[in-house]
Structure 1
Amino acid sequence: MVTSDPAPVAVIGGGLAGISAAVALAEAGCPVTLYEARPRLGGATYSFRRDGLTVDNGQHVFLRCCTAYRGLLDRLGGAGLVDLQSRFDVRVLGTAGRSGRLRRAALPGPLHFVPALAGYRLLGPAERFQALRGSMALRRLDPADPVLDTMTFGSWLAAHGQEAPVREALWELLTVAALNTGAEQASLGPAVKVFKTALLGRPDAADLGIPRVPLGELHDGAARAAIGRLGGTVRLSAKVTAIEPGPVLVVDGAKVPASAVIVATRHEQAARLVPAPAAPGRDRWGALDASPIINVHAVYDRPVMRLPFVAVTGSPVQWVFDKTRVAGLRRGQYLAVSVSDAGGWIDRPTADLREVFVPALHEVFPAARRARLTDFFVTRERRATFLQAPGSGALRPPSATRWPGLYLAGAWTDTGWPDTMEGAVRSGLHAARLVRQHIRHQETVS
């Protein structure tokens, strides 16, 4: 008796969740096809060309504790294409030329950050004690406690004596970067997850990793090559418009059978694509709000920043990264200013942003006042992450749906992590495990 080969597993969406799911399935020997509507992979992490430079849409960093993302880099052959700090070390620039440094000590966690906070010069002695006391109180919380999803991080900070200088120079500095929202709007649960995992747990957890090649090389080209090498298929510019029982996909108007389906798109797209009988609660998670990020790109005719990156407080500038080498600039310096929680900036014209950010950069980097600005542009991600406000945790769905063989993936699903690259990769790996279980069950009963 001749039997036909099983239909491939279909992964819809070529962001990090979809890439990680496709790679995991292909490694396990499952035929898999990854469908992406855009002509590239990488989702919200991508590169483009501009005037001879390779420009990343935004600066993306990871931490040593991001084990799933680092594992994906290993699988894609990209582990050697990133720089990972041997010890967490961030220079923080304040107003009026003041600066501080957050550098972990060679001590076991959570003591490894005590010297950093005790010597943090952007805070006075009493404020440093506030920060230490707040850190210890935060460590006692459980990020999985659903009660924390009903509270803001800001209200918790106020209740625990964290006054404005401490909030601005420490808590907001890290919360906005990690959660893409300020403490006054951030849900307490994901904030606790960030601080407990990165800063109050293993001593090396927060060591920063930064790509030293363009994101397109790290996530797009490498992912396509890896999936192909493992026997999978990538279909770019392929728009999936429906999922029917079977499961069957409608791809560019044609029906394509699949042995299982992983929907790894953004949450609002997934809510439109997943059939209502498969996910009766899709309107709830489809209604998750979004939070934007902008990146301000400034190219100077000479170097104006000595460090590879800095954090900034008391300024529209938040984090600044030297992109000169990554972009391929041969003369001068290319700075990328990453601005999270950018609702107040996202719709403002580039000319308006230039009037704000160029003087702000002059204030932060006095050398920029003597340099000539040769290019200035802005990249915008209107829906960079979902808005991690109180109540959002209860809206995040599990990976499994009511249809056997149909699963969800994405940093917006219930990963236990905030909306980060790590959360996206973990969701893809989890969905791939569920698919393998489903396929084994189908083989058992057939």
Structure 2
Amino acid sequence: MKPVSAKVIGAGLSGLSAAVTLAQAGIRTELIDAAPQAGGRCRSYHDPQLGLTIDNGNHLVLSGNAATARFRETIGATTPLAGPEHADFAFLDLGTGERWTVRINDGPVPWWIFSTARRVPGTAFADYLPLSRLLGHAEGRIGDRIATKGRVWEHLLEPVLLAALNTTPADSSTALTGAVLRETIARGGRAMCPRIAEPNLAAAFIDPAIAWLAKQGSDVALGRRLRALTFDGDRVVALDFGETSEPVAKDMAIILAVPAWAAAALIPDLTVPDDHRTIVSGHFAMPAPAGAPAMLGLINGTAEWLFSFPDRLSVTVSAADHLVDTDRETLARIFWADICAALGLEEPMPKWQIVKEKRATFAATPAQNSRRPPSRTRWSNLFLAGDWTATGLPATIEGAIRSGETAAGLAIHSLSR
């Protein structure tokens, strides 16, 4: 018999994915989160300083992210994800003024590396061959597998991998890098097209998921923080929300989709990643000028990626622990200088906002990857979801959504026997 009900604790993308998967299977589901809004780190909010709705950070997905596509199709997300028709990645070296666009061909045979018009200027096709050493499953450091210098590394690999891993690429996990490369560049440009939530993450992911769950009769309770779990034998038997302690019925599944450090505080002896990296974003209330690329990689600047939206310009810096203590206005002025140089602007700095996510993702190192727990726990009715669980991917939107699917599938299978 299928479980009569389930509770999903945490309404970020992993929790939403779990709740949607459970509801699809006919499970009566309640989604609970401590925050006043759903979305977790992928939330959108109205910023009074800007007078705009912005995202907590600039997140993107790739056209080959299958779980992301399934999730959006299920919840009926009609807001399109913006991005080019092909896998074109524009770059600018702020130090030299050099501009180039890497154009990855659609099919899996990488003939783009043989075209001077498609690869990084000043490189030869042989410079790309060491990439094959990163396609395997073996664990290690990228810096021990390939040379982390040269134009291909500095003008393509390092900025792309830094964005994907949010960790200094040379120190990052080859297993996680290989998983990303096998699902993207190894499949060709059709799987590599960048996709940006427009106008924001809430419209692209969160709002349609909450609306879909409501139509299925699922309850969503925000502003309720889980304080403790009560265990008895091989089961969770009660949930302590502070003001109330709710018993867990024998036919109820519990999915914990909270951050790693919150899960570790709730579950005894749980090993989780404990080293995290910062992401810093800057948002500026100026519409993108005509002809501005939707996404531009910046080399030799402080900002690393520039995103152009109809109502704002935004920049992102990954693995930004070196910036987290910098004064916000100082950061804004540095970012604005990079934006002006990139887009040829001579404008005074508009209204701005700086967002610092200090524990944006776990560090994608071999040591931290080894600390990621599976979704199944030693308690028969408790399952884990989150981009920090053992998804095989770094901490990405795709990994978060997959983790929710995995946790929900295990819950349904385990409790329906």
Query: What is the TM-score when the length of structure 1 is the normalising length?
Result: 0.86
- Which of 384, 387, 409 is residue 363 of structure 2 equivalent to? 387
CA distance in 2, matches of 1:406, 1:303: 50
Contact residue 399 and residue 414 of structure 1 kept, 8 A: yes
CA distance in 2, matches of 1:79, 1:7: 31
Q: Deviations over 1:414-443 (max 9, x none)?
A: 1111110100110100110111112212xx
Contact residue 340 and residue 347 of structure 2 kept, 8 A: no
CA distance in 2, matches of 1:357, 1:6: 51
Match status 1:351 vs 2:329: yes
* Structure 1 counterpart SS, 2:285: strand
The worse-fitting range, judged by mean Cα deviation, of 34-43 and 195-204 is: 195-204
Contact residue 102 and residue 119 of structure 2 kept, 8 A: no
Match of 1:138 in 2: 134
Matches within 5 A, 1:128-207: 128-139=124-135, 141-142=136-137, 145=138, 148=139, 151-158=140-147, 163-207=149-193
1:393 CA drift (Å): 1.9
Match of 1:444 in 2: none
Match of 2:238 in 1: 248
Distance 1:302 1:323, change over 3 A: closer
CA distance in 2, matches of 1:318, 1:184: 17
Distance 1:135 1:301, change over 3 A: closer
1:304 CA drift (Å): 7.2
> What stretches of structure 1 move > 6 A for 4+ residues in a row?
none
Distance 1:171 1:24, change over 3 A: same
**One-letter identity of the residue aligned with 1:410:** G
CA distance in 2, matches of 1:358, 1:193: 35
Contact residue 113 and residue 199 of structure 1 kept, 8 A: no
1:413 CA drift (Å): 0.7
Match status 1:404 vs 2:400: no
Give the share of equivalent positions with the same residue, in percent: 28
CA distance in 1, matches of 2:288, 2:174: 43
Match status 1:268 vs 2:261: yes
Distance 1:310 1:183, change over 3 A: same
Match of 1:315 in 2: 301
Contact residue 375 and residue 389 of structure 2 kept, 8 A: yes
Matches within 5 A, 1:293-372: 293-300=279-286, 303=289, 306-324=292-310, 329=311, 334-366=312-344, 368=345, 370-372=346-348
Match of 2:19 in 1: 22
- Alpha-carbon RMSD across the aligned residues, in angstroms, is 2.1
CA distance in 2, matches of 1:16, 1:350: 28
**One-letter identity of the residue aligned with 2:331:** L
Q: Deviations over 1:331-388 (max 9, x none)?
A: xxx210011111111121112213422222232222x2x2232212201111111111
CA distance in 2, matches of 1:7, 1:28: 11
Contact residue 112 and residue 203 of structure 1 kept, 8 A: no
Distance 1:16 1:363, change over 3 A: same
Match of 1:43 in 2: 40
Match status 1:423 vs 2:399: yes
The worse-fitting range, judged by mean Cα deviation, of 195-204 and 89-98 is: 195-204
CA distance in 2, matches of 1:299, 1:19: 30
* Structure 2 counterpart SS, 1:184: helix
**One-letter identity of the residue aligned with 2:307:** F
1:79 CA drift (Å): 4.4
Bigger proportion of residues as helix: 1
- Which of 222, 225, 231 is residue 217 of structure 2 equivalent to? 231
Contact residue 110 and residue 199 of structure 1 kept, 8 A: no
Match status 1:100 vs 2:96: no
Q: Deviations over 1:99-123 (max 9, x none)?
A: 11111224x313254246x435754
Give aligned pairs, total.
Answer: 406
* Structure 1 counterpart SS, 2:72: helix
Distance 1:290 1:210, change over 3 A: same
Contact residue 101 and residue 120 of structure 1 kept, 8 A: yes
1:177 CA drift (Å): 0.7
CA distance in 2, matches of 1:202, 1:412: 27
CA distance in 2, matches of 1:267, 1:92: 34
CA distance in 2, matches of 1:85, 1:301: 19
Gaps of 5+ in 2: none
* Structure 2 counterpart SS, 1:374: coil
1:6 CA drift (Å): 7.1
Contact residue 288 and residue 308 of structure 2 kept, 8 A: no
CA distance in 2, matches of 1:431, 1:182: 30
- Which of 385, 403, 412 is residue 436 of structure 1 equivalent to? 412
CA distance in 1, matches of 2:288, 2:80: 26
Distance 1:379 1:339, change over 3 A: same
Matches within 5 A, 1:45-124: 45-51=42-48, 52-94=51-93, 95-106=95-106, 108-115=107-114, 118-119=116-117, 122-124=120-122
Match of 1:11 in 2: 8
**One-letter identity of the residue aligned with 1:45:** C
**One-letter identity of the residue aligned with 2:192:** A
Q: Deviations over 1:209-228 (max 9, x none)?
A: 11122222333322221111
Contact residue 46 and residue 219 of structure 1 kept, 8 A: no
